[in-house]
């Protein structure tokens, strides 16, 4: 099977569609499979971009349903924002105000009723928005849009989608995840699902512990963390790990330069491309879409795991 792998789209619908078109992906081909390793919304969103990304990846027109992995934006921002009912300062700093506005604009095009927002305004009049003073400014700006998205059904669907995304996808020779893998991988088979079964068998309530570990590792703070965590691989580990989250140029030839303070002007165009770490068998995919306005498409041929 041929896997078409992207990461960190961040709402850039045009860049996503360009990458898909240039890759040769055919959504009607049973041998083609899209895999996206997290962060679908946020920073690079313009117009209805984030809404368009979500609609495309959840469309039923694909012969094989796109495999979407959970990223930190889905877990820590989008789902919580929809549940909370308003946008915080932290949401805005991560571009999720653009996400909610994108969904709002997309929904308005579907629902033509001019009175569509009246129930929303009524709800806002009857219920306070934010109690924390730091959140009031942003809440006042975007609570209407969040309420509209929630009340018109898309918010509920989006939150459920974010909550149910898996933390990883595994094939015969690759593991795809957003940030990193949990510590202490010591399964006798190099199959991640076996690792989890073995650990659950040994430790009570391991299901919850495993989820907690995955929650921590959708975040990896610096390139240094990656090199440090590679030392935890067990002897004989022979699978490639494909990750997004942190921009690929930070792992290239000038990695030391990008470990400190840098500007987007410092990045050369070719440095945005994905980076292959042969020593540790890690592939870094994140193009840093918000700056490069392009998405890396990694095309791999591999076999699905035996069920």
Tens place of pLDDT per residue across the chain (307 aa) = 999 999 999 999 999 999 999 999 999 999 999 999 999 998 888 888 999 999 999 999 999 999 999 999 998 888 888 887 777 778 888 888 888 888 888 876 665 555 555 555 555 555 544 444 444 444 455 666 777 777 667 888 899 999 999 988 989 999 899 988 765 444 445 555 554 444 433 333 334 445 666 777 787 766 666 766 666 665 566 789 999 998 888 888 887 777 767 778 888 888 888 899 888 888 999 999 988 889 999 999 999 987 5
User: Taking the domains of the chain in order of start, what are their residue ranges?
Assistant: 2-164, 178-301
**In the prediction, which pLDDT does 112 show?**
55
Angle made by CA atoms 1, 214, 171, in degrees to the nearest 5: 15
**In the prediction, which pLDDT does 233 show?**
61
- Where residue 3 falls (left for φ over 0; alpha for ψ -120 to 50; beta otherwise) is beta
Q: What is the rounded CA–CA span in Å between residue 250 and residue 259?
A: 7
* Residue showing tokens 């308003």: 86
**In the prediction, which pLDDT does 197 show?**
41
**In the prediction, which pLDDT does 135 show?**
45
Cα torsion 262, 264, 266, 268 to 10°: value is 140
Residue 50 Cα distances to 15, 95, 97, 226, angstroms = 12, 11, 11, 29
**In the prediction, which pLDDT does 257 show?**
78
**In the prediction, which pLDDT does 306 show?**
72
DSSP bridge pairs for 3: 33, 300
Work out the angle between the directed axes of helices 96-110 and 49-57 (0-180°, nearest 10): 70
233 close to 184: Cβ distance less than 8 angstroms: no
């Amino acid at each position: 099977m041929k896997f078409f792998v992207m990461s960190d789209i961040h709402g850039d619908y045009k860049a996503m569609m360009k990458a898909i078109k240039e890759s040769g992906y055919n959504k009607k081909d049973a041998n083609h499979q899209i895999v996206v390793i997290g962060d679908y919304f946020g920073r690079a969103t313009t117009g209805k971009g984030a809404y368009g990304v979500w609609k495309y990846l959840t469309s039923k027109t694909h012969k094989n349903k796109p495999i979407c992995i959970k990223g930190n934006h889905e877990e820590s921002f989008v789902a919580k924002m929809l549940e909370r009912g308003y946008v915080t300062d932290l949401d805005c700093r991560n571009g999720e105000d653009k996400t909610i506005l994108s969904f709002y604009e997309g929904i308005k095009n579907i629902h033509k009723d001019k009175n569509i927002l009246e129930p929303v305004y009524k709800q806002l009049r009857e219920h306070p928005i934010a109690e924390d003073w730091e959140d009031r400014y942003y809440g006042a700006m975007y609570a209407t849009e969040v309420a509209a998205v929630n009340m018109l059904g898309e918010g509920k669907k989006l939150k459920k989608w974010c909550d149910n995304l898996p933390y990883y996808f595994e094939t015969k020779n690759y593991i795809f995840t957003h940030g990193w893998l949990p510590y202490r991988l010591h399964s006798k088979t190099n199959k991640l699902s076996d690792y989890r079964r073995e650990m659950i068998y040994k430790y009570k309530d391991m299901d919850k512990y495993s989820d907690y570990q995955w929650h921590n590792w959708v975040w990896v703070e610096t390139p240094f963390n990656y090199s440090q965590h590679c030392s935890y691989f067990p002897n004989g580990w022979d699978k490639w790990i494909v990750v997004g989250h942190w921009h690929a140029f930070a792992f290239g030839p000038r990695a030391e330069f990008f470990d400190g303070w840098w500007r987007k002007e410092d990045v050369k165009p070719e440095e945005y491309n994905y980076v292959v770490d042969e020593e540790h068998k890690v592939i870094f995919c994140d193009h840093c879409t918000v700056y490069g306005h392009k998405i890396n498409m990694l095309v791999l041929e591999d076999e699905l795991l035996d069920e």
